[in-house]
Chains A and B, each alone.
Chain A
Amino acid sequence: MQDTMINSLTFSHYFFTGAVLFVLGMIGFITRRNMIVMFLCTEMMFQGVVVTLAAAAALHGNITGQTFIIFVLTIAAAEAALALGLVILLFRRRQTLDAGAWSELSG
């Protein structure tokens, strides 16, 4: 029975890993106050999506899921460039990476 259980690896396992990575990234984005780490957490949400896309591609035997990963990587690269530029700009104004220093933006 134990053998069968170990061998019964399903695609649901991969979806589970993707969901956990996405949720951990989301929790990190909410709880961390360092702006750089917040954007690192969004990249971790992308990782969860990438694992899910690859698992769905393998499950359905459809390569388009893997093709979409390329576009996820494109958006991630564009986001990293812009977000890090903005973080540096904000750091130059207040000399801190604390997201709470800009809380007046929330109105």
Chain B
Amino acid sequence: MSEARQPAAGPALIEVRGLRTTLGGKVIFDGVDLDIARGRITAIMGPSGTGKTTMLRHITGQLAPDAGEIRVDGRNVPALSRNELFDLREKIGYLFQNSALLTDFTVFENVAFPLRQHLKLPEPLLRNIVLTKLQAVGLRGAAELMPSELSGGMARRVALARAIVRDPMLILYDEPFVGLDPIALNQVLRLIRTLNDTLGITSILVAHEFAAVSRVADQVYLIAGGKVAAHGAPAELARGESPWTRQFFGGEADGPVPFQYPARDYALDLGFPAAAT
């Protein structure tokens, strides 16, 4: 699980080139280039507010960038029509930070939802597929529960089962470790690794827990200040010497990422114009 593996030599599944995004007047990405290798687990890390989730929304076409190319499996996402986008999304699993289970449906129906919407499967076959996926996340016994009866860790595993129910080529995890106790964290880590290895799914992981990420990711991109600050295997990055990597992986409170939100002169704000220089 902790062995560092080299990125695959084949063509990348996702290529991001020259990505520029401004949201609400704030520059999020200022020329980002990324390659996500097929069949590997790639983590996108960075301080809060650097646009990690925005990157996932770009890749899935929920949000169009100002400029740049995002090629997923050879198709440029920002240029796709809505129908083409939906075709692409049928091959992508997306794990939401808050699981986003449909609260009207049982666990079973939540996992069955993508199948019922897109395929006309005979009921016994559908039932077997759903139960297999629930078994994979260890929740076959919880099939008849409602989402409100699940703990946070269980809800995330159900969401994971739903994300893989159509055997996607790519799965995106948005902050999968937030709010999990150590047991649930280990379960989710093991699931991510197992799914990746057994089903050959390409995985993208957005997180900021370096300890957890380094146990599962093959490749890490550190995004800070609108650019890729560093990338490589987790072990390489931990030894990195750039100020960004030192601050982020060392957990220093101040550095290239400032502690203070941008503000005007402190003395002026307090009403001492004479003290301002």
B is a partner of A: no
Which chain B residues have a beta carbon within 8 Å of chain A's beta carbons? none
- Residues of chain A having any CB pair with chain B under 8 Å: none
